[in-house]
Amino acid sequence: MATLKDVAKETGLTVSTVSRVLNNRGYISEETRQRVYSAMKKLNYQPNEVARSLSKQTTNTIGVIVPHIRHPYFAELISNLENEAYQRQYKILLFNSQEKNEREWEYLEMCSSNRVAGIILCSGTVGVEEFQGLNVPLITIERNLENGTAAVECDNYQGGMLAAKHLIEKGCQHLIHFSGVRETAMPADARALGFRKVCEDGGIDFKDMATSAAQYNHLEYHEAIELVLRENPETDGIFASSDFIAAQILQVCYRMKIRVPEQIKIVGFDDVNIASLTTPQITTIHQPIKEMAKISVELLIDAQAGNIVPSRTMLPVSLVVRETT
């Protein structure tokens, strides 16, 4: 591939001059500029970003680590992150930790080795480690981490409250909440708290069912759901911690001949595409994923520039009523 040197040779200038027109800095005569441009075109010159990064001591790359890619929530999140990064001339290095602790560690080190501009660490249930030695901004999304640069989350507590209120308003008396994984503390846990608060205040019967890590890892909840429904036949309202779970609840209900929303009403969480692809479509708590992605990228770039950024940002959620309630 053509290099700066080639372009310099072609134009009879030196690399420093060519570099200058490439970066638009310093004084360059219009004629020289044109000469360089046409030489670049002629040689099909593509600046070597690797060399550039080495020289500038920084890259335009953001490391994104998620626990799952195939999970619609993360797919949606990644999609938005990529888009926001693109708008700002950044690229995404994508890593899928698969909920494995070692793998997450490895990825963090890879990010570091690759001198990413910063890291966006999403959710995930692995233990809160000492992420020291990381010299780059670390933004977390929906995840607790003591020594991160900044955390972005949605108002999970409010989300739990909205779900409970809605189910109660719709006449439910016996509620169940399928919550997240119990092992690790996560911001999403607040959903259960908000839900509980409203139930208690309203004197409504409720139960909280935590899913296991194994289930989360395989994204498979059918069995557990069926068991819970059999053991709690009086249930008439369910709040699921994700639309993904809600969709599976819907399937189990169908199999058990429980009509939704007539016999049981369901509220999901996230509001990702799956919520509107099921039949009936899922009433859910909308998580502002697009905004969360935008803010995360902005915080990262801001932190990279050496600025002080808010250590915690919380965004509001909202109820989207569809057909399961």
Partner DNA sequence: GATCGTGTGGAAAGCGGTTACGTTGTAACC
Partner DNA sequence: GGTTACAACGTAACCGCTTTCCACACGATC
Question: What residues make contact with DNA under the rule CB under 7 A?
Answer: 1, 3-5, 12-17, 19-20, 22-23, 25-29, 31-32, 45-48, 51-52, 54-57
User: Smaller CB distance to a second copy: residue 45 or 195?
Assistant: 45
User: Smaller CB distance to DNA: residue 21 or 266?
Assistant: 21
Residue corresponding to tokens 């069912």: 209
Rule CB under 8 A: choose which of 50, 262, 306, 308 binds a second copy.
50
Q: Is position 24 an interface residue for a second copy (rule: CB under 8 A)?
A: no
CA distance 236 to 266: 9
Residue 90's φ and ψ, nearest 5 degrees, are -105, 160
Which of 235, 237, 244 shows the shortest CA–CA distance to 324? 237
Q: Is position 112 an interface residue for a second copy (rule: CB under 8 A)?
A: yes
Residues 126-185 contacting a second copy, CB under 8 A = 133, 135
Residue 175's H or E segment, with its range, is: strand 174-181
Evaluate whether 81 touches 106 at the Cβ level (below 8 Å): no
| Rounded to 5°, angle at Cα 73 from 173 and 105 | 120
Residues 56-75 contacting a second copy, CB under 8 A = 59, 61, 68-70, 72, 75
User: Smaller CB distance to DNA: residue 14 or 311?
Assistant: 14
Rule CB under 8 A: choose which of 14, 26, 49, 316 binds a second copy.
49
In whole angstroms, the minimum distance from the beta carbon of 139 to a second copy comes to 17
Q: Is position 99 an interface residue for a second copy (rule: CB under 8 A)?
A: no
Q: Is position 1 an interface residue for a second copy (rule: CB under 8 A)?
A: yes
Collect contacts of 201-207 with beta carbons under 8 A, ≥24 apart.
202/164, 202/168, 204/164, 204/168, 204/172, 204/173, 204/174, 204/175, 205/173, 205/174, 205/175, 206/164, 206/174, 206/175, 206/176, 206/177, 207/175, 207/176, 207/177, 207/232
For a second copy, what does the binding mask look like between residues 181 and 220, x meaning CB under 8 A?
A: --------------------------------------x-
133 binds, among DNA, a second copy, none (CB under 5 to 8 A by kind): a second copy
Collect contacts of 79-88 with beta carbons under 8 A, ≥24 apart.
80/289, 80/290, 80/292, 80/293, 80/294, 81/120, 81/293, 81/296, 81/297, 83/293, 84/293, 84/294, 84/296, 84/297, 84/298, 85/297, 88/297, 88/301
In whole angstroms, the minimum distance from the beta carbon of 121 to a second copy comes to 16
User: Smaller CB distance to a second copy: residue 34 or 114?
Assistant: 114
91 binds, among DNA, a second copy, none (CB under 5 to 8 A by kind): a second copy
Which of 46, 56, 65, 79 shows the shortest CA–CA distance to 111? 65
29 binds, among DNA, a second copy, none (CB under 5 to 8 A by kind): DNA
**Residues that contact a second copy, how many (by CB under 8 A):** 54
Q: Is 16 helix (H, G, I), strand (E, B) or coil?
A: helix
User: Smaller CB distance to a second copy: residue 169 or 254?
Assistant: 254
Evaluate whether 228 touches 197 at the Cβ level (below 8 Å): no
Which of 289, 269, 287, 290 shows the shortest CA–CA distance to 324? 269
In whole angstroms, the minimum distance from the beta carbon of 94 to DNA comes to 24
Listed ranges 13-21, 41-49, 187-195, 198-206: which one lies at the site for a second copy (CB under 8 A): 41-49
Footprint of a second copy (CB under 8 A): 1, 44, 46-51, 53-54, 59, 61, 68-70, 72, 75-76, 78-79, 82-83, 86, 91-96, 98, 103, 109-110, 112-115, 133, 135, 219, 244, 247-248, 250-251, 254, 272-274, 277-281
